[in-house]
């Protein structure tokens, strides 16, 4: 069920029967010369709506702009400051609680949001208002991602390229895949961007001239479909697990 498509009287039955909501979150930021700036929020909404359709749980509208100042040198990147993002997401989530939601899955597709969503979840749980957890699709199927791509990348790489080829092929510049690979950072390891144990970079452009990592030419829509179906299965399983948990078991334990 997609909240924004429903009239308010028709939502009452859901809130009477269920207490779980999916909240998709992403970003609007550069993803190299070949992918749209909406890559992350397109992916997040794709997963959230697919899981909601399969399970019948509620999916909210997508939060499209996240914490992305590290991509600010590239045209069109939008971001909000981290404190503003946390306050907005917390307020948004407390709004759901007012309707009877007591457990939320943040279906997140942007790495820059992760720590802040964890912080919001802790605040809400410490207040014993609701239980909110952050989910990222690639972390639910890491072995498959590694198996499918030889040179993967955490940003604008083949895994995100393949997903957008599957979800929104009309937005992918397939004729620029080689340009993305050749102008980005194809090979990297745990020492990239580090000196004597210190991480020396702050912005994406410090490591990659065109903003992306990995070998984008290894992406196909078929691989994207495979990843999408596998990760959706994981999200559906998470929804069903979370819905089955007694609320008290999700709250903080008493002091020893």
The single-letter DSSP state of residue 165 is H
Nearest residue to 201 via CA among 70, 66, 110, 83: 70
What CATH code is carried by the domain that includes residue 55? 3.40.50.10310
The ranges of the chain with pLDDT < 70 are: none
Is this structure's pTM higher than 0.85?
Answer: yes
Location of structure tokens 């720590």: 115
Angle at the Cα of 209 from the Cα atoms of 41 and 202, rounded to 5 degrees? 70
What does the alpha-carbon distance between residue 41 and residue 168 come to, in Å, rounded to a whole number? 12
Does residue 31 form part of some domain? yes
* Contact call for residues 231 and 140 (beta carbons, < 8 A): yes
How far apart CA 141 and CA 155 sit, in angstroms, is 17
Q: Which segments within 161-225 are labelled E, that is strand?
A: 194-195, 198-199
Would you say residue 156 lies in a domain?
yes
**What is the structure's pLDDT at 23?**
98
What pLDDT is stored for residue 187 in this prediction?
Answer: 81
Range of the domain at 185: 3-250
Domain membership of residue 256 (yes or no) is no
Give the residue from 109, 196, 116 showing the smallest Cα distance to 155: 109
Residue 189: per-residue pLDDT = 77
The two structure tokens encoding residue 256: 């020893």
Asked if residue 230 belongs to a domain, the reply is: yes
**Measured distance CA(213)–CA(202) in Å, rounded:** 16
Residue 197's pLDDT is what? 87
Q: Which two tokens stand for residue 128?
A: 């014993």
- Tell me the CB-side half-sphere exposure of residue 231, using CA atoms within 13 A: 30
Residue 127 included in any domain: yes
Q: Residue 111 CB: number of other CB atoms within 10 A?
A: 18
Which residues, in sequence order, are CB contacts of 93 under 8 Å at separation 6+? 23, 104, 120, 124, 130, 132
H/E stretch holding 15: helix 8-17
Give the Cβ contact number of residue 180 at 10 Å.
Answer: 30
Q: Which residue has the tokens 């020492």?
A: 191
Instruction: Report the SS3 class of residue 177.
Output: helix
Are 79 and 68 in contact by the 8 Å Cβ rule? The answer is yes
Give the chain's domain count. Answer: 1
| Residue 255, domain member (yes or no) | no
How far apart are the two ends of the chain, measured CA to CA in Å?
41
Residue 45 lies in a domain: yes
Query: Where are the extended beta strands (E) located within the chain?
Result: 20-25, 58-59, 103-108, 131-136, 194-195, 198-199
Residue 216 resides in a domain: yes
Q: C-alpha 144: how far from its chain's center? A: 18
């Amino acid at each position: 069920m997609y909240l924004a498509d429903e009239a308010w009287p028709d939502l009452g039955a859901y809130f009477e029967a269920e207490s779980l909501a999916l909240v998709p979150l992403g970003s609007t930021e550069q993803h190299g010369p070949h992918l749209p700036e909406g890559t992350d929020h397109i992916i997040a909404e794709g997963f959230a709506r697919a899981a909601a359709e399969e399970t019948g749980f509620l999916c909210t509208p997508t939060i499209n702009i996240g914490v992305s100042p590290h991509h600010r040198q590239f045209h069109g990147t939008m971001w909000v400051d981290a404190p503003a993002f946390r306050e907005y997401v917390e307020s948004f989530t407390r709004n759901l609680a007012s309707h009877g939601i007591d457990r939320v899955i943040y279906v997140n597709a942007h790495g820059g949001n992760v720590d802040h969503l964890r912080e919001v979840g802790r605040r809400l749980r410490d207040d014993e208002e609701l239980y909110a957890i952050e989910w990222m699709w690639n972390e639910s199927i890491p072995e498959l991602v590694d198996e499918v791509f030889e040179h993967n990348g955490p940003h604008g790489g083949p895994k995100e390229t393949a997903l957008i080829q599957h979800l929104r092929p009309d937005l992918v510049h397939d004729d620029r895949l080689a340009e993305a690979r050749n102008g980005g950072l194809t090979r990297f390891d745990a020492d990239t961007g580090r000196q004597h144990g210190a991480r020396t970079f702050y912005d994406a452009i410090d490591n990659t001239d065109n903003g992306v990592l990995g070998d984008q030419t290894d992406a196909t829509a078929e691989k994207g479909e495979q990843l999408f179906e596998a990760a959706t299965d994981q999200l559906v399983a998470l929804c069903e697990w979370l819905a089955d948990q007694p609320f008290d078991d999700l709250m903080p334990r008493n002091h020893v």
